[in-house]
Amino acid sequence: MKLYCLSGLGTDERAFKHIHIEGVELVHVPWIDFKENESLQSYAKRLFEATQPTDGYNLIGLSFGGMIAAEWEKIKTPKTLILLSTMRDTKGLPIYIRVAGALNLHKIVPMSLVRYPNFISYFLFGITNNENKQVFKDILHDGDPKHLKWAMNSIANWRNYDKSNGIRIHGDKDRLLPMKKGIDHVISGGGHMIVLNNADELNAIIGSLIDG
Q: Kindly report, residue by residue over 168-201, the tens digit of the pLDDT.
A: 999 999 988 888 888 999 999 999 999 999 999 9
| C-beta separation of 87 from 170 below 8 A | no
Q: Kindly report, residue by residue over 132-142, the tens digit of the pLDDT.
A: 888 878 877 77
CATH of the domain at 60: 3.40.50.1820
CB neighbour class for 108 (10 Å; exposed up to 12, middle 13-18, buried from 19):
exposed
Distant-in-sequence, close-in-space partners of 162: CB < 8 Å, separation ≥ 6:
70, 74, 89
Nearest residue to 78 (alpha-carbon basis) of 147, 29, 34, 128: 29
| CA dist., res. 204 & res. 195, Å (int) | 12
Share of the chain above pLDDT 90, in %: 48
| CA dist., res. 49 & res. 75, Å (int) | 10
**pLDDT of the residue at 8:** 84
Q: How many domains does the chain have?
A: 1
**pLDDT of the residue at 30:** 92
Phi and psi at residue 60, to the nearest 5°: -130, 135
Q: Kindly report, residue by residue over 8-45, the tens digit of the pLDDT.
A: 877 788 889 999 999 999 999 999 988 888 899 999 99
Side-chain half-sphere CA neighbours of 129 within 13 A? 6
- Annotate the chain with three-state secondary structure: CEEEEECCCCCCHHHHCCCCCCCCEEEECCCCCCCCCCCHHHHHHHHHHHHCCCCCCEEEEECHHHHHHHHHHHHCCCCEEEEECCCCCHHHCCHHHHHHHHHCHHHHCCHHHHHCCCHHHHHHHCCCCHHHHHHHHHHHHHCCHHHHHHHHHHHHCCCCCCCCCCEEEEECCCCCCCCCCCCCEEECCCCCCHHHHCHHHHHHHHHHHCCC
Q: Kindly report, residue by residue over 89-111, the tens digit of the pLDDT.
A: 887 777 766 655 555 555 545 55
| CA dist., res. 142 & res. 138, Å (int) | 6
Do the strands 2-6 and 25-28 form a parallel or antiparallel pair, or are they unpaired? parallel
Mean pLDDT of the chain: 85
Share of the chain above pLDDT 70, in %: 88
**pLDDT of the residue at 62:** 95
| CA dist., res. 157 & res. 168, Å (int) | 22
Domain that holds residue 64: 2-209
